[in-house]
Structures are given as C-alpha cells and as structure tokens.
Amino acid sequence: MRHLISDTPGQMDVGLLVVNAAGRVVMTNPSAARYLGQPSEADLSNADTLALLAAFEIRGGTSWPDVFGRVLVDRQCVHFEAGHVDGEELFIQAAPLSMADSARHGMIINISDVRLLKESERKRAEALGFLSHDLRSPITSLLSLVQAHPQTADETSWHELTRRVEHYARTALHMADDFRRLARAQNLDSSSFGETDLVTVAHNALDESYAWARAKGIRIVRRMGVEEVWLSADAGLLERAFMNLLSNAIKYSPEGSRIDFELRADAKEVQCCIRDQGPGIPPDQTEKIFDPFHCIEDGQLRKRHGIGLGLAFVRLVVDKHGGHVKVSNLPGEGACFCLRLSRPTAD
C-alpha cells in the first residue's frame, strides 16, 4: 500500500507538492520537478517551497506569502493562474492538509499546465469574433441595402443595387472560405500527404493569379530554377498558400509594377520567394502579420483588405510541411516572402 501511494503521484501529469507547516517539501513527483526546473524530485526534498515557487508570477495581484497564510493559517482552499518566465501558463491549486498527527498541518499544491487549453480558448474567441463581427458585417450591409432600396427605383439604380449586392455576397463568401481553409489546415496530418511536384503547384497558382494581375497591369515574372521538385505534401493547400501570397502582392502593388516569383532548389531544400514593388510592411509588424485576424496598420495602408487569415493560413500550411516562412522588406520598396521546405534525403 505504501508503494502504491508512493508510485501513483509519479504517474500524474499534474505537479504535486506536499508541504509541511514550516513550508518545506515532504513529498513530490517528477512532474513538479519538471515545472520547477529541477533535475529530479529528489532535488525538491525538504526544499523551501516559497523560494521554489517564486519563479511563478501569480495573476491577479496576490502574493505567495499571502497564499501560504490563507492555506496554512486560515485553512482555506485557493486556486489561481500563474505564469512562468519561459511562457508556461499554469493553474495552481492549494489546499490545507492535516497530517496523521492532528496537531500538525500542512498543505498540498497541484500545478497544471493549461497553455494548450488557453490557446484553444483564444482560438475559440477569435473564431467567435470573426463570426460575430467580420462575417456578419457584409451580410448586414447586404440586408440593409436591399431593405432601404425603393421599390420604384429606375433601371440604373437597380443595376447599382445588383452590383453592390454581388460585392457584399462575394465578400462574405470569401471570408467564409478563408475560415474554412484555415480550419482544414489546422487539422492537416502528414499521413495524408502525397507525392507532389512543387514546380507544377507553383505554375498552377501563377496561372490562377494571372487574370487579376493583368487587370491591374501588373507583370508577373516567373524564375523557375528547376524543372521539377518532388516532395511529400498536400498539393491543394500549398497551391492555396502560393495564391494567398500572390494575392497579397497584387493587392498592394501599384498598377504597372512587377512581381517576381522565384523558385530554386538544392539537395536539401526548396526555396520559393515572391517579391512585389508595393509600399512594404512596417518593421514593427513583420512578426505580427502571420497572426490570425491581424491586418496591417499604417498611414499608407489605411484601406483594409480581408480579415487577416491569408498569411496565418500560409504560415500554418508551411509549418505543417516542416518548413518555415519569413518576410523581409524595405518600407516603400516592396515586400519579399520566402518559403523554405526540406527535401527528402535519399536512402
């Protein structure tokens, strides 16, 4: 029974600390040692608990001495969130504990990592914000437009109504498609990958973007350093990632400018870079632009394009393929997005 009681906490993902009335650790488990940055649970034996927990910052304004006083003296159960310098988000519970001798008291502390839960909550809040505001906005505008339009309007007015209705409907559809693609990419698993020629994928994306670029008088220059590059990948999602980058380049490029699409490869990796001649990206936003629902804010770019899912989709797809994407630019001289994907090594 003693072995069972001793071994059971060792199998728990939750960090466990049993503390005596003097604030010393009398029992722990490996998870607690991991959370506290100690090599093993043996290093926590008889340690000063207050000193150990000082690395965790309690959210909400209270302090560790106050927590110890409420539990050890007032015999209260407390729980709160705390953060660690390495970015961990923790949920901590502390409760009074009576020892076998009723004259002696202590407390038991549980430490749980809730980072994944918090991230899930943040994504859900972003999704709800998207559904409640961004997606509703064009639909609400569409309904208001139809309801306000007089039944006796002339033919010219009806043509204008039709044009605006189509615009709002396409905007809502585009937003919904972006959201659906992002959700699909989040669930992407490498087991579904197939043999894919990245050069063919790139040409397909360029062909899809050609008509829009031509309508703005923008020339797209293809620089393919290889004839074919085979990878294990999801061709559809990679093609959409290329199209998102090309779409952004066309949106922000002035009429009559040029977009360079370059793809090259060596034995270890493939690199694809898309450079435009637009206003560039403000330096303080180069790290934020890949976050979901983030849109560029700058005096030269006041007009908002989309809802900030396009680049988040690009980064997610590239991450799922084991690669990475970076942006570099000089404000006023254009932006350059580069994707790097590893090539399979020969057996």
The two tokens of residue 298 are 């700058």
* Burial class (CB within 10 angstroms; exposed 0-12, middle 13-18, buried 19+) of 290: buried
So what's the pLDDT on residue 203?
A: 95
Neighbours of 237 (CB within 10 A): 22
Tell which wins on pLDDT, 19 or 170: 19
Number of H-type helices and E-type strands within the chain: 10, 13
- In one-letter notation, the amino acid at residue 227 is E
- Residue 99: which pLDDT band, with cuts at 50, 70 and 90? low
So what's the pLDDT on residue 97?
A: 85
So what's the pLDDT on residue 230?
A: 92
So what's the pLDDT on residue 299?
A: 46
Q: Which of 168, 166, 320, 122 is nearest to 240 (CA)?
A: 320
Are 64 and 54 within 8 A, CB to CB? yes
In which element (H, E) is residue 179 found? Answer: helix 155-186
Gap between the Cα atoms of 28 and 33, Å rounded: 8
Checking if the pLDDT of 100 tops 80, the result is no
The CA-CA-CA angle for residues 171, 174, 176, to 5°, reads 110
Gap between the Cα atoms of 232 and 203, Å rounded: 18
In which element (H, E) is residue 64 found? Answer: helix 64-68
The CA-CA-CA angle for residues 187, 313, 243, to 5°, reads 125
Q: Which of 12, 13, 11, 47 is nearest to 27 (CA)?
A: 47
pLDDT in tens, 312-339: 888 989 998 999 999 988 666 789 999 9
So what's the pLDDT on residue 1?
A: 62
Checking if the pLDDT of 111 tops 80, the result is yes
pLDDT in tens, 233-271: 989 889 999 998 998 899 888 999 999 999 999 888 999
Gap between the Cα atoms of 275 and 200, Å rounded: 20
- Residue 150: which pLDDT band, with cuts at 50, 70 and 90? low
The CA-CA-CA angle for residues 85, 129, 315, to 5°, reads 60
Gap between the Cα atoms of 173 and 208, Å rounded: 18
3-state secondary structure of 165: helix
Gap between the Cα atoms of 78 and 94, Å rounded: 5
Checking if the pLDDT of 5 tops 80, the result is no
| Alpha-carbon torsion (7, 12, 18, 23), positive or negative | positive
The per-residue b/e assignment along 250-273, b for 16 or more CB within 10 angstroms, e otherwise, is: bbbbeeebebbbbbebeeeebebb
So what's the pLDDT on residue 196?
A: 92
- Residue 276: which pLDDT band, with cuts at 50, 70 and 90? very high
- Residue 302: which pLDDT band, with cuts at 50, 70 and 90? very low
Residues whose CB is less than 8 angstroms from the CB of residue 83 and which lie 6 or more positions away in sequence, other chains included: 56, 57, 59, 89, 90
Phi, psi of 75 (to 5 degrees): 60, 40
pLDDT in tens, 164-219: 888 777 777 767 776 777 777 777 777 888 999 999 999 999 999 999 899 999 99
Checking if the pLDDT of 346 tops 60, the result is no
Domains of the chain: 2-113 (3.30.450.20), 116-187 (1.10.287), 190-347 (3.30.565.10)
Q: What is the pTM of this model?
A: 0.56
The torsion defined by the Cα of 295, 299, 304 and 310, in degrees rounded to 10, comes to -30
So what's the pLDDT on residue 205?
A: 93
So what's the pLDDT on residue 126?
A: 64
Phi, psi of 188 (to 5 degrees): -65, 135
Phi, psi of 41 (to 5 degrees): -65, -25
